């Protein structure tokens, strides 16, 4: 199976911004609940969601949906970084 170049670029952008988003979610969970276990659960859930999204971007989703997801995740990371 051959993956197009734009899918690789979109997947890489989504993976990088998804990892940053995962870390932000973990920090927010730790801040709200004060327990490391809650942060770990939030991180695990975030990681699984990002991993599934990256796989869908690389293999299945159409162009418009892929770039919409990349922009949405990037905007979310930007807003969360500016808000913190």
pLDDT at 57: 94
pLDDT at 84: 76
Is the pTM value of this prediction over 0.75? Answer: yes
Q: pLDDT, tens digit, for every residue of 3-13?
A: 788 999 999 99
Half-sphere exposure of 54 (CA within 13 A, CB side): 17
Half-sphere exposure of 34 (CA within 13 A, CB side): 0
Q: pLDDT, tens digit, for every residue of 11-60?
A: 999 999 999 999 999 999 999 988 889 899 999 999 999 999 999 999 99
Q: What is the DSSP string of the chain?
A: ----HHHHHHHHHHHHHHHHHHHHHHHHHHHHH--HHHHHHHHHHHHHHHHHHHHHHHHT--HHHHHHHHHHHHHHHHHHHHH-
pLDDT at 36: 87
């Amino acid at each position: 199976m051959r993956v197009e170049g734009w899918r690789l670029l979109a997947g890489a952008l989504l993976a990088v911004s998804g990892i940053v988003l995962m870390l932000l979610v973990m920090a927010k969970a730790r801040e709200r609940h004060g327990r490391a276990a809650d942060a770990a659960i939030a991180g695990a859930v975030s990681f699984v969601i990002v991993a599934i999204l990256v796989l869908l971007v690389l293999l299945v989703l159409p162009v418009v949906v892929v770039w919409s997801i990349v922009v949405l995740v990037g905007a979310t990371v930007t807003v969360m970084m500016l808000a913190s």
